[in-house]
Amino acid sequence: MSAPSAIAGTPPLLRASLKHEARSFAPWIGIATALSVSSVIVYPWLFPEAVERRRFAATVGANPALGLIFGPAYDLSTVDGFNAWRSLSIGGFLTALGVIFIVVKASRGQEDSGQAELLASGVLGREARLLTALLMAGVCALAVGVVSFAFTVLCGGAWESSLLLSAGFTVTGLMFAAVAAVTAQIASDARTATSIAVAVLGVLFVLRGFLYSVSAPRWTAWANPLGWITETRPATGNHWWPLLLGLAFAAVFVAIGFALQVSRDFGQGLIASRPGPARGTARTPLALAIRINRGPVVSWSVAFVGLGVIFGYFIRTVRDLFSVNPALAEIFAKGATLPAELLAGFLATILTLIGIVAAIAGVQIVNRVRTEELEDRAEPVLATAVSRSRYLAPSVLLAFAAPALFILIAGVVIGALAAAAHIGLNFGYSPLQAVATIPAVWTVVALAVAVIGARPRVQIASWAGVLVSFGLTLFGPSFKLPGWALGISPYYHVPHVAAGTQDWRGLLWISLFTLAFLVIGFAGFRRRDVP
């Protein structure tokens, strides 16, 4: 930052912004805290005996699919070790996601909406807006750390490891606030800025899990900023100094962000928009829906090729994993003894994870309908000869078709890689398992259609399906939930196609829910006011 005049007006702007936006910090603070607190409360209750803890450590800790998300399990036989494994990477990821939204909304988003222009003409330094955005993100990241630490210690977490864990959340948040400060300068609008920052976060996150799980060389962990956070190893090593690397990373990216901001014009990005066609080819609601969602669908497709490659390589190592650790059978297929059944269960778990991610894309497309309404773009379209149903249907169609395509892409890639490795899994199984997973994804997406169609005021509820199925799939088994509770997740009903016996009736049941959700969504959308 140059002269003080460049940041003039920051304190009042920050105060006003915090007053309006601080409430939106709550979910991010709440989720990270809940993660950590629930670990320290539930673990002793579930596993009171040392023997049980060791068995749990052996089974869950070695599950490669879980390792992808949570990172390496150093010690699952203590409360704090368990908490560190279960919370560190996910809590950091969510904090990072939160601050990315905060920074882009408060900097780039303000420019797009024109609010910033109003402020920029007042007594406000050039760099005050970006500084305010970063300070807001800093406040949020710090609040995540402080609140999660306080509650974790209150609920029985060890002092030092809990503090280090919470500091890990905060530093992850600071790093990605800085990344978002840079992408907000590069992109030509807020949506693109968010997408790029989230993509960076997502790639680094998946890479971290993948490289730890396949025991890649040590330097790969240090090449990844998220790896530094993992290397703090709360409860098993308590290394503080990697956090300094994170702070340095944040400082460098903040500096780059400010440097880029100075060199660009207000409201423009480094990637400028070029003039486009003077005539349009999109002439129907379907063409419009495709046009609106084209960019995200293409990016997601590429992401799913990547996911397929990662999981495909994963499945090739499965035989080694089984021979080293027979206890894996417990997770992937209860009571299964044949390698084929193990493999079938493993494949189903992997495609469920892919299905959960695909559902995110679907729910996003459904939520886009609401965004169009709120930003007054649905109004002129609905003022033409387009009925409510004809307006909603193409987006729903796309929200169903796109995730189906994504799962198939990943399924085919995994199938090809698995078949090439000769591990006893024919090429066809993986795509078939992908097809079997699609109806479960549709149930989750249809729930979002029901919410957006009938009760858009509770828009956040459209994500309920994704959150619940994610929570039940990942945390359900480790918390020994009963079958009926696990069955709330539609993915629980997906048959294992590579196993000998299959039960397809579950898919029929969840599809009835899908149908009901769709009827609610369309009926509601026809009856309600827009917006």
Partner 1 sequence: MTERTTDAELVIDIAGLHKSFGDFEALRGLDLRVERGQVHGFLGPNGAGKSTTIRVLLGLLRADAGRVRLLGGDPWRDVVALHRRLAYVPGDVSLWPSMTGGEAIDLLGSMRGGLDEGRRADLLQRFELDPSKRGRQYSKGNRQKVAIVAALASDVELLILDEPTSGLDPLMENVFQEVLEEAVGRGATVLLSSHIMAELETLADRLSIIRDGVIVESGTLTELRGQARTTVHADLATLPAHEQLSMLYDVELRGHRLTATVDSDRIGQAMEGLLPFGLTALTVEPPSLESLFLRLYEDEQTPDRR
Q: Which is nearer to partner 1, 380 or 482 (CB)?
A: 380
Residue in the block written with tokens 């460049």: 6
d(CA 240, CA 247): 12
* Cα 444 to Cα 179, 287, 334, 491, distances in angstroms: 31, 24, 26, 9
Buried b (16+ CB within 10 A) or exposed e, 249-275: bbeebbeebbebbeeeeeeebeeeeee
* Cα 347 to Cα 325, 350, 417, distances in angstroms: 17, 5, 13
Buried b (16+ CB within 10 A) or exposed e, 13-24: bbeebbeebeee
Q: Which is nearer to partner 1, 276 or 335 (CB)?
A: 276
Instruction: Give me the least distance between CB of 383 and partner 1, in Å please.
Output: 4
Instruction: Give me the least distance between CB of 526 and partner 1, in Å please.
Output: 10
Q: Which is nearer to partner 1, 52 or 375 (CB)?
A: 375
Instruction: Give me the least distance between CB of 176 and partner 1, in Å please.
Output: 24
d(CA 130, CA 257): 8
Instruction: Give me the least distance between CB of 289 and partner 1, in Å please.
Output: 11
Structure tokens at 455: 């009760």
Instruction: Give me the least distance between CB of 523 and partner 1, in Å please.
Output: 14
* Cα 515 to Cα 123, 316, 523, distances in angstroms: 55, 37, 12
Instruction: Give me the least distance between CB of 190 and partner 1, in Å please.
Output: 9
Q: Are 462 and 363 in contact (CB under 8 A)?
A: yes
- Which residues sit at the interface with partner 1, rule CB under 8 A? 112, 188-189, 191, 273, 275-285, 287-288, 291-292, 295, 375-377, 379-388, 527-530
Q: Which is nearer to partner 1, 19 or 457 (CB)?
A: 457
User: What phi and psi values does residue 78 have, to the nearest 5 degrees?
Assistant: -125, 160
Q: Which is nearer to partner 1, 5 or 113 (CB)?
A: 113
Instruction: Give me the least distance between CB of 268 and partner 1, in Å please.
Output: 9
Instruction: Give me the least distance between CB of 352 and partner 1, in Å please.
Output: 34
Residue 172's closest CA among 97, 223, 237? 97
Instruction: Give me the least distance between CB of 398 and partner 1, in Å please.
Output: 16
Q: Which is nearer to partner 1, 263 or 281 (CB)?
A: 281
Residue type, 115: Q
Q: Which is nearer to partner 1, 79 or 288 (CB)?
A: 288
Cα 530–chain centre separation? 30
Q: Which is nearer to partner 1, 227 or 285 (CB)?
A: 285
Q: Which is nearer to partner 1, 80 or 111 (CB)?
A: 111
Determine whether 335 is exposed, middle or buried from the number of CB atoms within 10 Å of its CB (0-12, 13-18, 19+).
exposed
Residue 86's closest CA among 156, 141, 138, 31? 31
Q: Which is nearer to partner 1, 275 or 483 (CB)?
A: 275
d(CA 438, CA 380): 34
Residue 87's closest CA among 164, 155, 181? 164
Q: Are 100 and 201 in contact (CB under 8 A)?
A: yes
Residue type, 27: P
Residue in the block written with tokens 């007006």: 9
Q: Which is nearer to partner 1, 239 or 377 (CB)?
A: 377
Instruction: Give me the least distance between CB of 37 and partner 1, in Å please.
Output: 37
Helices 159-186/128-154 angle, 10° precision = 160
Cα 215–chain centre separation? 24
Instruction: Give me the least distance between CB of 269 and partner 1, in Å please.
Output: 10
